[in-house]
């Protein structure tokens, strides 16, 4: 909420959301309320002085009137400075508050409170010991964690041979599928400025989790959500053009990877990974219908690859900072005997639009703020890992899903002999 009047109208809902998210103790609502009251007081004083100035200007011009006008001008300038300071303090505080949570989001404090919406596919029953994607990738000669770490650091994996080709062609496959469903492919910059990061909610809260160029003016994208959502920042879009649907591949860079004490083995949680992103800009009236179709667009990739998955509705305590409602799509990992996230699909309502100044106009009327949606379509590395595990054979080879065979130049099986040393 990026104006004070909007915040005042929603302050009770904002406090309730903070409590639902388990963040109430981290939010200084008392100071926010004080700043709002201070702004009202200053704005009222400014308006009163301006009223007096207007009355004075109608009076006869004399020396005394000129002195009065000068004094009033000095007072209104002083109040203006105080008002500007109060509003900046307000903006600094409110910029760290998360989005409101949609009424359909379940209560809860962690992933254990999330709700499974549905599952697709039946996990394969293996008649031999299952290997994880690390053991498979290394035995096939297509995953090189040691050399990646030697080149950069832990969390920067290296793929090679058939593994690198599989990853590259999975990106093409995912992009092709989404453009067939009406998304426009974009090749965005892989860095964005601070304004763009603020627009999507990465700043100021997540500054330390981003990789910055020297001087801190540009940051490496943690997801293509940042450039795609900000693509029309400052513009007014005609409603007849909505929804706008974009897809893009980018490498993604995140510092927080590996800090949770889990998932440090392999490529499940890393600092650099490839991802195909989906973004929609639409009207408030259509955004929740668009959310459901976006989830299906992402899930379709797993259906075509024949990888079992499930859809999960996140609870209030597990939902992301900018999201009003989120579904996670989780693919099956046989080695862990569990589903793991490969996509989060969210409706951010007007939270990002207010920050990034994204608006639309209906039939020449007053501009309104858009609703923004985003989701992975999908996280390439995690799907790569799930594919290896689900398609492995007893001899350590990996069968290629039929929909990828043409992308991989007819390759149907990855064997140790098909990967370079």
- Which pLDDT band, with edges at 50, 70 and 90, does 8 fall under? confident
- Which pLDDT band, with edges at 50, 70 and 90, does 25 fall under? low
Asked whether the predicted pLDDT for residue 145 surpasses 70, the reply is: yes
Residue-level pLDDT at 161: 95
For 89, the enclosing helix (H) or strand (E) is helix 63-94
Residue-level pLDDT at 150: 95
382 part of the active site? yes
Q: Which residues pair with 250 in a beta bridge?
A: 275
Burial label, 194 (beta-carbon count in 10 A; 0-12, 13-18, 19+): middle
Find where tokens 């809902």 sit.
13
**pLDDT single digits (tens) 39-48:** 889 989 999 9
Asked whether the predicted pLDDT for residue 419 surpasses 50, the reply is: no
Q: How far apart are CA 255 and CA 221, in angstroms?
A: 11
Asked whether the predicted pLDDT for residue 238 surpasses 60, the reply is: yes
Residue-level pLDDT at 14: 79
- Which pLDDT band, with edges at 50, 70 and 90, does 258 fall under? very low
Q: Return the higher-pLDDT residue of 278 and 261.
A: 278
Residue-level pLDDT at 55: 85
Residue-level pLDDT at 58: 75
Asked whether the predicted pLDDT for residue 237 surpasses 80, the reply is: yes
The residue annotated as part of the active site, out of 20, 21, 39, 254, is: 254
Residue-level pLDDT at 10: 76
Q: Return the higher-pLDDT residue of 421 and 248.
A: 248
**pLDDT single digits (tens) 308-346:** 999 999 999 999 999 999 999 999 999 999 999 999 999
- Which pLDDT band, with edges at 50, 70 and 90, does 296 fall under? very high
The residue annotated as part of the active site, out of 382, 386, 389, 397, is: 382
Tokens of 181: 């469903």
The residue annotated as part of the active site, out of 162, 287, 335, 344, is: 344
Burial label, 16 (beta-carbon count in 10 A; 0-12, 13-18, 19+): middle
Asked if residue 271 lies in contact with residue 149, where contact means CB atoms within 8 angstroms, the answer is no
38 part of the active site? no
Q: How far apart are CA 212 and CA 258, in angstroms?
A: 19
The tally of CA atoms less than 13 A away on the side-chain side of residue 400 is 22
Q: Quick one: CA dihedral 385, 391, 396, 400, positive or negative?
A: negative
Residues 95-109 have a mean pLDDT of 91
415 part of the active site? no
19 part of the active site? no
Tokens of 404: 């990828």
Residues 278-303 have a mean pLDDT of 98
Q: Which residues pair with 218 in a beta bridge?
A: 193
The residue annotated as part of the active site, out of 20, 46, 131, 269, is: 269
Q: Quick one: CA dihedral 65, 70, 74, 79, positive or negative?
A: positive
Residues 162-177 have a mean pLDDT of 98
The pLDDT > 90 percentage for the chain reads 74
Rg (CA), the chain: 26
Asked if residue 99 lies in contact with residue 349, where contact means CB atoms within 8 angstroms, the answer is yes
- Which pLDDT band, with edges at 50, 70 and 90, does 88 fall under? confident
Average pLDDT, the chain: 91
Residue-level pLDDT at 283: 98
Q: How far apart are CA 298 and CA 302, in angstroms?
A: 8
- Which pLDDT band, with edges at 50, 70 and 90, does 65 fall under? low
- Which pLDDT band, with edges at 50, 70 and 90, does 32 fall under? confident
Asked whether the predicted pLDDT for residue 63 surpasses 80, the reply is: no
Q: Return the higher-pLDDT residue of 265 and 212.
A: 212
The pLDDT > 70 percentage for the chain reads 93
341 part of the active site? yes
Asked whether the predicted pLDDT for residue 399 surpasses 80, the reply is: yes
Q: Which residues pair with 275 in a beta bridge?
A: 250, 379
Q: How far apart are CA 330 and CA 166, in angstroms?
A: 20
């Amino acid at each position: 909420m990026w104006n004070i009047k909007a915040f005042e109208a929603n302050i009770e809902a904002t406090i309730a959301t903070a409590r639902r998210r388990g963040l109430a103790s981290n939010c200084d609502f008392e100071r926010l309320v004080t700043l709002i009251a201070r702004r009202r007081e200053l704005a009222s004083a400014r308006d009163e002085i301006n009223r007096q100035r207007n009355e004075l200007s109608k009076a006869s011009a004399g020396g005394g009137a000129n002195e009065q006008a000068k004094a009033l001008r000095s007072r209104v300038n002083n109040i203006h400075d105080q008002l500007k300071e109060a509003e900046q303090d307000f903006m600094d505080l409110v910029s760290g508050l998360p989005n409101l949570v949609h009424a359909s989001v379940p209560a809860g404090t962690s992933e254990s409170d999330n709700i499974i919406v549905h599952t697709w596919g039946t996990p394969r029953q293996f008649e031999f010991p299952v290997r994880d994607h690390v053991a498979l990738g290394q035995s096939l000669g297509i995953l090189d964690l040691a050399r990646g770490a030697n080149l950069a650091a832990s969390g920067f994996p290296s793929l090679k041979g058939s593994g690198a080709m599989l990853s590259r062609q999975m990106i093409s496959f995912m992009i092709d599928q989404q453009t067939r469903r009406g998304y426009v492919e974009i090749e965005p910059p892989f860095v964005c400025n601070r304004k763009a990061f603020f627009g999507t909610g990465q700043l100021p809260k997540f500054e330390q989790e981003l990789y910055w160029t020297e001087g801190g003016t540009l940051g490496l994208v943690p997801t293509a959500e940042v450039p795609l959502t900000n693509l029309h920042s400052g513009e007014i879009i005609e409603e007849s053009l909505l929804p706008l649907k974009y897809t893009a591949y980018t490498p993604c860079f995140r510092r927080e990877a590996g800090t949770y004490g889990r998932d440090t083995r392999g490529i499940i949680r890393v600092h650099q990974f490839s991802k195909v992103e989906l973004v929609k800009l639409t009207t408030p009236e259509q955004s929740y219908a668009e959310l459901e179709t976006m989830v299906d667009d992402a899930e379709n990739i797993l259906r075509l690859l024949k990888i079992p998955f499930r859809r999960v509705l996140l609870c209030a305590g597990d939902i992301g900072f900018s999201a009003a409602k989120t579904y996670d799509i989780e693919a099956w990992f046989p080695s862990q005997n569990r589903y793991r996230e490969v996509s989060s699909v969210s409706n951010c309502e007007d939270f990002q639009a207010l920050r990034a100044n994204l608006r639309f106009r209906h039939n020449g009327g007053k501009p309104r703020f858009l609703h923004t949606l985003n989701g992975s379509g999908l996280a390439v590395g995690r799907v790569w890992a799930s594919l290896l595990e689900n398609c492995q054979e007893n001899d350590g080879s990996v069968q290629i899903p039929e929909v990828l065979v043409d992308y991989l130049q007819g390759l149907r099986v990855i064997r140790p002999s098909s990967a370079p040393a």
